[in-house]
Structure 1
């Protein structure tokens, strides 16, 4: 099998930090290079070898574990099969080690959920991602692949990376990342049905790459069903007082609220991808004129009768940019929302906090801690609506976090300003 060693990756000072050069040597001994792409922020591999259809899964797995990346030269479908074989080795090797280390009495018992189990799970997932991220593909300047039986990935790559080629040069990314791009492109093409938006063909949201997909519809149902705040006597009705949607993402909650007849709605997000996604979704749903999109951190200026926020549910550090919709390090967004809510609520207004209690079952945050934050922010709990999750992981007994997921409840907390 042609495996050609490469020198260590050297970053050119004239290139952007996000796209360092990686280097390898062709079978003829000619040095070659391309720019490194990683949407999850993985560092450029320090050692690259060429590999093709002749390499075995065991050999590829050993090289990847040792930190050597494989730049694929063979058939695209064979590369996918190789990645699947490497994934099986990632998934079975830790299990074998665990069975050898386990005592007979507890060899078949399920690991209890908790902070330790959560951190070990994330560590294992990070190691798995590192190993599987070592199978690389080279992309032409127009984001196409020059491999046998390669699919058309140009649109998926362009949506994620942008239309402009990197100064006309080739780029390299992992096969695993490409599969993420093409999967996201399929979500964008097909969309996610949102029953809370009504029946018929115009009830789908189309997530863009890097924007959290609203596949867990239970939290959307809560927003669609919760009783709207009543404007104080003598003031305008709820239908004519402002609504804020903090961290809008795909714009799905803004769309639901607009369909309920409240507004005008101001939807905020820091991520330009999210704002572009929300703009497209609100337009195709026919409610774009009801919603103002604003790039800002948390709150827009002014006050609203209703301020809705669905922050990331787990207080942990995101290991990639696309994980920021799931992990909220130090509960920054959650506490920022709570601490600023009283200032941005109009008299008689409510703040709706949509939050899962999975962090509580994992030992990452206690209910007492959450209630203390609410009280410290000058807020009071007016009510709460609860729903059980319907996603597949909640019933998957093989999931390392199954005991926590099976007990999870998603809640809409109705918060008001504490009266002095």
Structure 2
């Protein structure tokens, strides 16, 4: 993957004035944010209140001071945003959302605004991913993992860079998967299997009889393919559209010595042929993602879910099963009623054989301060066993 945003021929540029001269550089944003139109030079002399005011107005700060001071400034900006979100004693209390759906959209709007404001603190990169600032860390490996090779100067937000560094640590240390008694190492831009309940469902649900082949639709890190292979399925064909995911899955499966058992294919949903078991863990929330990694959570118009259901019977052998792993969070948010899901299952010529449920254990499920706590606390993740009607 090359470091480009618009197209290979036309990377976006960011422009600013410095020392009386007009300057420009390649702009990069993994979230797809356009380059800021107003950019000023900033360093250690700027205070947090001034920086916050400028960022809220859409003025970006291109940092020329100490790198660690820039990190502290970013934290100060985040505190001001969060304090404003909670409101002060003098502020008029915000109207409570009328419905869970309204609460969800307000939450997403606040998240988007927060991301835009924090993205206004910019860091310069020289060729080879070096940062020309005092006390700047060595980020060459993290950037190469996320962006690929790119040997030209560019500008990106400090917040994005810190995300790259965090992703590099996730990739290095991995996530413990009890069902595998091993670690899965997520790559940048590939959703980490930190919510282990869905993995446990796939690990414990009884397999159909004579399952020698399985399809894993949407491989991601490869964790479900690995679980299926470890359960004794002779061959697993795993698909994904995203090159980052395929690279991630390939590396994880090789580390687990399962790469000869699992075949990876770049495909939109299904591979060719039929299998006695077809597994899919689509994104759970029908909403528009705001960055590439959010495609693992948000499925616009339930495209992947509906595509899986509509094509399942054509890819099942006689007596085969489709396993749909899906949270009901969208139902509690009022975004997709259960009746609609059941209707899609019936329209696809499918019937429900059984359903295995588990409640999530992630911290947000018990965090009463979360704006979506009511929905999260009621959430159930299910493995739907489906078959041709």
Fold match, TM over 0.5? yes
More displaced stretch, 134-143 vs 113-122: 113-122
Tell me which residue corresponds to 2:202: 223
TM-score, with length taken from structure 1: 0.89
Q: Contact 1:257 / 1:263 at 8 angstroms: preserved in 2?
A: no
Deviation at 1:405, TM superposition (A): 0.4
Whether 1:253 and 2:224 are equivalent positions in the alignment is yes
Whether 1:303 and 2:274 are equivalent positions in the alignment is yes
Change over 3 Å in CA distance of 1:323–1:98 after alignment to 2: farther
Tell me which residue corresponds to 2:382: 411
Tell me which residue corresponds to 2:309: 338
DSSP 3-state at the match of 2:216: strand
Deviation at 1:320, TM superposition (A): 1.3
Of 41, 46, 49 in structure 2, the residue corresponding to residue 55 of structure 1 is 46
TM-score, with length taken from structure 2: 0.96
Whether 1:120 and 2:106 are equivalent positions in the alignment is yes
Q: Where does structure 1 differ by over 2 angstroms across 4 or more consecutive aligned residues?
A: 13-17, 97-103, 110-113
How many residue pairs match? The answer is 384
Tell me which residue corresponds to 1:234: none
Deviation at 1:100, TM superposition (A): 3.0
Could you give the per-residue CA deviations for residues 250-277 of structure 1, whole angstroms, max 9, x where no partner exists? 0000000000001310000000000000
Distance of 2:37 and 2:102 partners within structure 1: 31
Distance of 2:88 and 2:214 partners within structure 1: 53
Q: Contact 1:36 / 1:171 at 8 angstroms: preserved in 2?
A: yes
Could you give the per-residue CA deviations for residues 53-110 of structure 1, whole angstroms, max 9, x where no partner exists? 000111001111111100000011110110011011111113227973338xx9xxx8
Change over 3 Å in CA distance of 1:14–1:246 after alignment to 2: closer
Distance of 2:301 and 2:69 partners within structure 1: 42
Change over 3 Å in CA distance of 1:98–1:373 after alignment to 2: farther
DSSP 3-state at the match of 1:314: coil
Q: Contact 2:309 / 2:345 at 8 angstroms: preserved in 1?
A: yes
Change over 3 Å in CA distance of 1:311–1:98 after alignment to 2: farther
Deviation at 1:30, TM superposition (A): 1.9
Q: How do residues 143-154 of structure 1 correspond to structure 2 at under 5 angstroms? A: 143-154=129-140
Q: Contact 2:87 / 2:93 at 8 angstroms: preserved in 1?
A: no
Deviation at 1:393, TM superposition (A): 0.5
Tell me which residue corresponds to 1:139: 125
Q: Which runs of 5+ in 1 are unaligned?
A: 1-12, 231-236
Q: How do residues 315-394 of structure 1 correspond to structure 2 at under 5 angstroms? A: 315-394=286-365
Q: Contact 2:25 / 2:153 at 8 angstroms: preserved in 1?
A: yes
Q: Which runs of 5+ in 2 are unaligned?
A: 1-5
Q: Which has the larger radius of gyration?
A: 1
Whether 1:204 and 2:183 are equivalent positions in the alignment is yes
Q: How do residues 390-401 of structure 1 correspond to structure 2 at under 5 angstroms? A: 390-401=361-372
DSSP 3-state at the match of 1:101: coil
Tell me which residue corresponds to 1:213: 192
Whether 1:23 and 2:15 are equivalent positions in the alignment is yes
RMSD between aligned alpha carbons?
1.6
Tell me which residue corresponds to 1:129: 115
